């Protein structure tokens, strides 16, 4: 599991460590890790170290110091290193160390504090690696001048170069929202981000995550408390799954009540059932019209049509809220879930039918447009663009307003529980953006809730922590099934569902 901590928590954890260690000891440790990451990236790319020039982009504060010390290490390893001093107050000891190692330093600001763009361009063109040490976790909001102009000029120059340089960010790419993943202004997109102490939430949430590249977390011995955000790995999901025991039968393995599909969208019933069955639920009970029921039985004769005892519900996939008959079916399923204290998934058409407040064991699964509508209906005027610009805060706000756990679908899935537990997953790929895959995800999540219903039912998860982890686990399984089904090419929703058993097996075998 990757655990991310906000900037203030990092600073508070660093304070006693800084007081107990020699001057710049932590900085030189961090700088060595950055230099090592640069060398490893060059090796990965097959580049000759002796023929590579590294450009340090040096801002004020500790990040600039990290970059300067890293440059000194790299220069001693035989690389050509130049430093573009983008501040009139560079870290003094770091600057001295860099100069002792024969790093060439250049003041790229003129007497008025404006960038010397011609000099910056010359330095940038000569370098195969740019090391971004302009700002760190103390920065807030969009970059201000002169750094905004410097980053904009570098990004434009990089885009025009026939062979783009590799960019390695120190701690965070300069300009991102460290705690919320927003991007309020120019950011120099990194290929690798070497982050100190722990990941930061902005490195695991869109849109900033897309600018961070490969993430390297450097342990510097911080005593950190509860994470602000987490990301599950296969071993974490294996701990959440409930593989069958020799004594199990179909009822003890979880029974999912499914209200999905309609005369207009009959295929959603098949896809949601496929997601649940392929994830390993003991039984699916399907409630729907004759047409979708027939389609489900043609594909999955093991599905039981009609009502009966269930451990969890999944409702709304392929349901138009304007279809009063199906809308009432969704409302009835939700009433039963609430009355019996059972977990539930509300997808697609069910979102518009949900009451104002829900328990944390109900998971809402909107995409950005649906979440914008949900927030607007609850008095917070929001557009799809607003949600896409700040998905992490939007999902958290929706969880607080509704009391439910929210799974916001997207390139990076955000899961937020009303008690504060937040996770993000980025296990799929762009080929998953195709019709019906959300219906499969609803079935996967419904299956996981049914399998763990004993831990969730009757108020067993009041703050939604376990529910949120199960939702994140569903996103991981679904994303990895999409990747397996794609193999680099297009997928359909059913091929994603068909890949689930192999993914579940791989996850359960995780060390």
275 is an annotated ligand-binding site residue: no
Sheet containing 362-365: give its strands across: 2-4, 229-231, 422-425, 413-416, 405-408, 362-365, 344-347, 312-315, 255-259, 283-286, 304-305
367 is an annotated ligand-binding site residue: yes
Q: How far apart are CA 467 and CA 455, in angstroms?
A: 10
Q: Cβ-count burial of 501 within 10 angstroms (0-12 exposed, 13-18 middle, 19+ buried)?
A: middle
174 is an annotated ligand-binding site residue: yes
Structure tokens at 28: 């030189």
182 is an annotated ligand-binding site residue: no
106 is an annotated ligand-binding site residue: no
439 is an annotated ligand-binding site residue: yes
132 is an annotated ligand-binding site residue: yes
133 is an annotated ligand-binding site residue: no
- Smallest CA-to-CA distance from 154 within 182, 136, 174 is with 174
65 is an annotated ligand-binding site residue: yes
318 is an annotated ligand-binding site residue: yes
88 is an annotated ligand-binding site residue: no
Whether residue 204 contacts residue 9, with contact meaning beta carbons closer than 8 Å, is answered with no
308 is an annotated ligand-binding site residue: no
482 is an annotated ligand-binding site residue: no
198 is an annotated ligand-binding site residue: no
64 is an annotated ligand-binding site residue: yes
CA 359 vs. chain centroid, Å, equals: 24
DSSP string, 145-177: TTHHHHHHHHHHHHHH-SSPPEEEEESS-TTB-
The pair phi, psi for residue 257, each rounded to 5°, is -85, 130
136 is an annotated ligand-binding site residue: yes
176 is an annotated ligand-binding site residue: no
- Smallest CA-to-CA distance from 354 within 388, 401, 386, 288 is with 401
Q: How far apart are CA 175 and CA 185, in angstroms?
A: 7
7 is an annotated ligand-binding site residue: no
37 is an annotated ligand-binding site residue: no
200 is an annotated ligand-binding site residue: no
107 is an annotated ligand-binding site residue: no
Binding site residues, as ranges?
62-66, 132, 136-142, 171, 174, 268, 318, 367, 409-413, 438-439
Binding site residues for AMP, as ranges?
409-413, 438
Binding site residues for (6S)-NADPHX, as ranges?
62-66, 136-142, 171, 268, 318, 367, 439
Binding site residues for K(+), as ranges?
63, 132, 174
């Amino acid at each position: 599991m990757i655990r991310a901590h906000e900037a203030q928590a990092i600073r508070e954890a660093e304070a006693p460590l800084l007081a107990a260690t020699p001057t710049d000891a932590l900085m030189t440790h961090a700088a060595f890790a950055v230099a090592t990451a640069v060398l490893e990236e060059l090796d990965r790319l097959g580049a000759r170290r002796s023929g590579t020039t590294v450009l340090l982009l040096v801002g004020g504060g500790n990040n600039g110091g990290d970059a300067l010390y890293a440059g000194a290490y790299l220069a001693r390893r035989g690389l050509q290193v130049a430093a573009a001093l983008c501040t009139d107050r560079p870290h003094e000891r770091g600057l001295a160390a860099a100069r002792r190692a024969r790093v060439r330093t250049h003041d790229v600001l003129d007497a008025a504090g404006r960038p010397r763009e011609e000099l910056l361009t010359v330095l940038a063109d000569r370098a195969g690696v740019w090391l971004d040490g302009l700002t760190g976790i103390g920065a807030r909001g969009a970059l201000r001048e002169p750094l905004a102009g410097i980053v904009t000029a570098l990004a434009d120059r990089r885009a025009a170069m026939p062979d783009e340089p590799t960019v390695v960010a120190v701690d965070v790419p300069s300009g991102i929202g460290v705690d919320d993943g927003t991007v309020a202004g120019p950011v120099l997109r990194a290929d690798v981000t070497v982050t100190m102490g722990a990941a930061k939430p902005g490195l695991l949430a869109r849109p900033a995550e897309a600018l961070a590249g490969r993430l390297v977390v450097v342990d510097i011995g911080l005593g950190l408390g509860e994470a602000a955000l987490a990301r599950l790995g296969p071993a974490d999901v294996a701990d959440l799954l409930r593989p069958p025991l020799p004594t199990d039968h179909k009822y003890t393995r979880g029974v999912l009540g499914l209200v999905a599909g309609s005369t207009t969208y009959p295929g959603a019933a098949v896809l949601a059932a496929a997601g649940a069955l392929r994830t390993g639920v003991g039984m699916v009970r399907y409630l729907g019209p004759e047409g979708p029921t027939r389609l489900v039985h043609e594909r999955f004769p093991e599905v039981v049509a009609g009502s009966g005892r269930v451990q969890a519900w999944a409702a709304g996939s392929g349901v138009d809220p304007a279809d009063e008959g199906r809308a009432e079916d969704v409302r009835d399923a939700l009433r039963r879930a609430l009355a019996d204290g059972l977990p539930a998934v509300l997808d697609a058409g069910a979102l518009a039918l949900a009451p104002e407040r829900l328990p944390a064991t109900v998971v809402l699964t909107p995409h950005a447009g649906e979440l914008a509508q949900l927030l607007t209906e609850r008095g917070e005027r929001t557009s799809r663009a607003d949600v896409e610009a700040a998905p992490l805060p939007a999902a958290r706000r929706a969880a607080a307003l509704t009391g439910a756990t929210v799974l916001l679908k997207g390139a990076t899935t955000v899961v937020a529980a009303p008690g504060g537990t937040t996770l993000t997953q980025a296990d799929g790929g762009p080929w998953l953006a195709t019709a019906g895959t959300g219906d499969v995800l609803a079935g996967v999540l419904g299956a996981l809730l049914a399998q763990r219903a004993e831990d969730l039912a009757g108020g067993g998860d009041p703050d939604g922590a376990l529910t949120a982890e199960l939702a994140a686990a569903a996103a991981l399984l679904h994303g990895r099934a999409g990747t397996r089904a794609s193999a680099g090419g297009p997928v359909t929703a059913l091929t994603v569902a068909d890949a689930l058993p192999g993914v579940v097996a791989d996850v359960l075998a995780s060390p």
